[in-house]
Amino acid sequence: MSSPRIDFEKAGEVAFVRFNNPEAHNALTGQMWLDLRDAALRIADDPSIRVAVFRGVGGKAFVSGTDITGFTTFASGADGVAYEHRIDDCMSAVDAIPVTTLAVVDGWAVGGGLNIASACDFRLATPGARFGSPIGRTLGNCLSALSMARIGDAVGVGIAKRMVLLGEIVTAQEMLDNGFLLKIAEPEAMDAEIEALCRRAAENAPLTTRATKATVRALALGSLPDIEAMVAQVYGSEDFRRGVADFLARTKAVPKWTGR
């Protein structure tokens, strides 16, 4: 079993960032989140890069979320607030990438995977790709205001509510129909689709791309509310501790939430 990691490769004007933890459906460890941030900063600092492609290794998942074992050390709601701050820091670096970004989704893009895909400018997926954030049926945690704004802007508030409040997993076809996906491609045709899109994006005037992305980011993610007290309440709850324990025990039933 290989060590979970982020792989970074540059090929001409294109940077490739690969989530490499296939044994855990590319769940991100704490170090992988930090490495994602560093990869985003590296892309932003390299003026020769015009496009960045994000993809999971193994063909079964883009990213399935955060490695849940890290939650077992949480002792209070303050730990949850600190965790969401770390995620926001890493995701803000992805948001701020000044070149065109592309998420390629093979299989699952749930939790953190949905968040990362939502931060990208365009998304391609294979027909069997699935999207969601069923945290209210699994862990009983919550999203930061920044994460909720990012996902809601990308997938639409109605589908975001279905994903979080109902725990629905949404198909690639529905995500194509609502505009979240640019295109669905068969696995054997995906590399050609990526190459064509990267070539077209790289031809765009870089200052136009930079200015447009900065404006769209400010419109979508500016003026967010302060919800730290609610985040602390959720992560400090008995329900969250029960959700983590049941998840790691591979309990299939939805936990019996108490609201405490």
Residue 243 lies in a domain: no
47 lies in some domain:
yes
DSSP 8-state symbol, 73: G
The stretch 30-58 carries a mean pLDDT of: 98
For 169-194, what is the mean pLDDT?
98
Please report whether residue 63 resides in a domain: yes
Whether residue 40 is contained in a domain is answered as: yes
pLDDT at 252: 85
pLDDT tens profile 77-86: 999 999 999 9
Q: What angle do CA 165, 239, 252 make, to 5 degrees?
A: 70
Domain count along the chain? 1
Mean pLDDT for 174-200 is: 98
Please say if the pLDDT value at position 92 is more than 90: yes
94 has a pLDDT exceeding 80: yes
Instruction: Let me know if residue 240 belongs to a domain.
Output: no
User: Is 90 exceeded by the pLDDT of residue 124?
Assistant: yes
What's the pLDDT at 118?
Answer: 98
Q: Does the pLDDT of residue 22 top 80, yes or no?
A: yes
221 domain-assigned: no
pLDDT band at 204, cuts 50/70/90?
A: very high
Q: What is the pLDDT of residues 63-72, one digit of tens each?
A: 999 999 999 9
Percent of the chain with pLDDT over 90: 98
Distance from C-alpha of 111 to C-alpha of 133, rounded to nearest angstrom: 5
Residue 137 included in any domain:
yes
Residue 98, phi then psi, degrees to nearest 5: -85, 5
* HSE (side-chain half, CA atoms, 13 Å) at 68: 20
Sheet (strand 61-63) strand order: 61-63, 108-110, 130-132, 170-171
User: What integer pLDDT is reported at residue 1 of this predicted model?
Assistant: 61
**Is a pLDDT exceeding 80 seen at residue 55?**
yes
Q: Is residue 104 part of a domain?
A: yes
Q: Identify the CA nearest to 21 among candidates 69, 58, 70, 71.
A: 58
Would you state the structure tokens that stand for residue 93, as one six-digit string? 């670096």
Tens-place pLDDT, residues 125-144: 999 999 999 999 999 999 99
Q: Which domain holds residue 101?
A: 5-187
| DSSP secondary structure string for all residues of 197-259 | HHHHHHTS-HHHHHHHHHHHHHHHHSS----HHHHHHHHTSHHHHHHHHHHHTT--SPP----
Mean pLDDT of all residues belonging to the chain? 97
Does the global pTM surpass 0.85?
yes
CATH of the domain at 129: 3.90.226.10
Q: Which two tokens stand for residue 180?
A: 């979240």
